[in-house]
Amino acid sequence: MIDVAANLARVRRQVDEACAAAGRDPGEVRLLPVSKTHPPELLQAAYDAGVRLLGENRVQEAAEKADHFADRPDLRWAMIGHLQTNKARQVAAFADEFHALDSLKIARALHKGLHDLDRSLDVFVQVNSSGEAQKSGLAPGEVADVVAGLAELPTLRVRGLMTVAVQQGVDGAGEREVAACFERMVELRESLPEHLCGRELSMGMSGDLALAIAHGATTVRVGQAVFGARETR
């Protein structure tokens, strides 16, 4: 059986150590445990260990889990995966955060669902900082126009930007290439009006957590290091 509490404690120590090395306050960095594919009993273990925000990337699975834990209203849900327009209303009904906003089309669909349900949603605009063709996200040069358009959708609260950096070891990428992705995010954030885009950065996972924190990450998304290997579906 996976010891979720022990894993969480270990990852939190890693976050604290990375913050100390970067001269940052650990209170500036949130750990977002990613529970996708994992069963309710592991999510319950995370809840018992103090977790109150979980990340999911499949809409139907997330909706079912939100329903399963409906008797725990303090447990919140962050959608972190690419979203299709026809699933936007479903996400609007239960999600508290969306970390993968990559088009105004999706934003408008979310806004309509949220407006109808009298809800609001914290969002992070996803950026393809590595330029990899297989990855979702806006090119850095597209972000300003999308952020400006989001100002017309009051149910969406733009907290900042999100990215998935190039994976170290893939196509010869090393730490320098990973760091370059994070540096682009910082530069992009600083180029955007704070009142439109916020200043948060959702970036960094198990393999590049310390590097992301060194570059200013405010949310790091960690899955397997907390919940173990993903279940295949």
Domain containing residue 81: 4-227
pLDDT higher than 90, residue 231: no
The dihedral region occupied by 57, where left means phi > 0, alpha psi between -120 and 50, and beta the remainder, is alpha
Supply the pLDDT for residue 167.
80
User: Has residue 223 been placed in a domain?
Assistant: yes
This prediction's pTM: 0.94
CATH number of the domain where residue 206 is located: 3.20.20.10
The number of distinct structural domains making up the chain is 1
User: Has residue 174 been placed in a domain?
Assistant: yes
What integer is the mean pLDDT of 85-98?
98
User: Has residue 39 been placed in a domain?
Assistant: yes
pLDDT band at 174 (very low <50, low <70, confident <90, very high): confident
User: Has residue 232 been placed in a domain?
Assistant: no
DSSP string, 192-218: S-HHHH-SEEE---GGGHHHHHHTT-S
pLDDT higher than 80, residue 85: yes
pLDDT higher than 80, residue 86: yes
